[in-house]
């Protein structure tokens, strides 16, 4: 393998974004020139790591014209890729900002069906990667046709080779992954509530709920994203709250993936849990300062990280 970090995105997308003034129904709307960017959880993590100067390999499903565009866009951002060819066309998402109200509309398209043969090929390709990655990030949704049990098998295989698993997904996929246990888990409050069976979690009870997952052996470290309130990092021996810096928010697209990229950058260097939490919040907050799906700039992320370290 080209480097020690692998990101896995089974339902990637090309994000198409534009601006328009004053959205109204049944009216021809004059949009700005569209911008095309790579999308999907793990892909965004690899993009974020590239901004921090840390190499990774982005493994993803690629099909049709949109898949080819996705590969080109990633090469432009100097992301090392491992595309797995499938018959179905890679999906597109559509993001529109109404400039008159600064309101963002996000249209997420479903992925097309992936066949059982293609699912088996995904497993075989990941199993064949040598040497095994030091860290594997599993992030984003599952496309139709890919069973959640496939992710559990991927986690099992990688853990047996000594890989640290970072998970940022939801629903049945996340439930299956946690049967094997992961090193780092990044749920939001809603996902944490579902995982622990506790309703109406808030900032005061999030750390206690996260501790349940750690005690059950489902994760060594749980980082709960609290949005504008920052994040809680919970491990067996530590509970760390990092407040979010106040920034001018332009877009929340990719903020969670940027947070994961920040944390993985510290994990890869062997930094402390406090550094990990602060870098995660810094990159997540910096992403909201960019418009569209632009993720964060290294300059903004480092500036916020230094502010959090004061």
Q: What residues act catalytically?
A: 257
Give the neighbor-by-neighbor strand order of the sheet with 35-39.
35-39, 13-20, 91-98, 103-107
Q: How far is CA 113 from CA 10, 13, 61, 116, in A?
A: 11, 14, 12, 10
Contact between 98 and 20 under an 8 Å Cβ cutoff? The reply is: yes
Task: Work out whether strand 13-20 and strand 91-98 pair parallel, antiparallel, or are unpaired.
Answer: parallel
Cβ(4)–Cβ(135) below 8 Å = yes
Under a CB-based contact definition with an 8 Å cutoff, are residues 48 and 98 in contact? no
Record the tokens describing residue 215, joined without a space. Answer: 């005690």
The burial of 102, by beta-carbon neighbours within 10 Å (0-12 exposed, 13-18 middle, 19 or more buried), is given as exposed
Q: What is the Cβ-side half-sphere exposure of residue 14, based on CA atoms within 13 angstroms?
A: 21
Sign of the dihedral through C-alpha 116, 120, 125, 126: positive
Q: Of 143, 182, 157, nearest to 264 (Cα)?
A: 182
Q: Using an 8 Å Cβ cutoff, are 189 and 206 in contact?
A: yes
Burial class (CB in 10 A: 0-12, 13-18, 19+), 56: buried
Residue 246 to residue 149: CA distance in whole angstroms: 40
Hey, CA dihedral for 162, 163, 166, 172, is it positive or negative? Answer: negative
């Amino acid at each position: 393998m080209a480097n020690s970090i692998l990101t896995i995105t089974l339902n990637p997308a090309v994000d198409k974004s534009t601006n328009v003034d004053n959205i109204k129904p049944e009216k021809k709307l004059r949009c700005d020139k569209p911008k095309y960017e790579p999308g999907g959880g793990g892909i965004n993590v690899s993009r974020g790591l590239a901004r921090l100067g840390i190499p990774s390999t982005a493994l993803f499903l690629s099909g049709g014209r949109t898949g080819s565009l996705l590969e080109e866009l990633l090469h432009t951002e100097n992301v090392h890729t491992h595309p797995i060819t499938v018959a179905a066309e890679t999906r597109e998402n559509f993001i529109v900002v109404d400039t008159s109200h600064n309101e963002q509309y996000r249209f997420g398209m479903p992925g097309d069906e992936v066949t059982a043969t293609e699912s088996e090929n995904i497993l075989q390709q990941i199993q064949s990667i040598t040497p095994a990655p030091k860290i594997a990030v599993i992030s984003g949704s599952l496309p139709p046709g890919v069973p959640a049990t496939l992710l559990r098998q991927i986690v099992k295989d990688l853990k047996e080779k000594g890989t640290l698993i970072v998970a940022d997904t939801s629903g049945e996929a996340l439930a299956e992954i946690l049967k094997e246990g992961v090193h780092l888990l990044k749920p939001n409050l809603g996902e944490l509530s579902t995982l622990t069976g506790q309703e109406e979690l808030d900032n005061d009870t999030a750390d206690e709920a996260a501790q349940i997952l750690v005690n059950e052996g489902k994760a060594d470290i749980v980082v709960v994203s609290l949005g504008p309130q920052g994040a809680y990092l919970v491990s067996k021996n530590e509970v760390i709250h990092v407040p979010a810096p106040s920034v001018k928010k332009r877009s929340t697209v990719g903020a969670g993936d940027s947070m994961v990229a920040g944390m993985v950058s510290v994990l890869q260097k062997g930094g402390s849990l406090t550094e990990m939490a602060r870098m995660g919040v810094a990159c997540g907050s910096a992403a909201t300062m960019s418009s569209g799906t632009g993720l964060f700039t290294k300059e903004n992320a480092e500036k916020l990280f230094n502010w959090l370290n004061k």
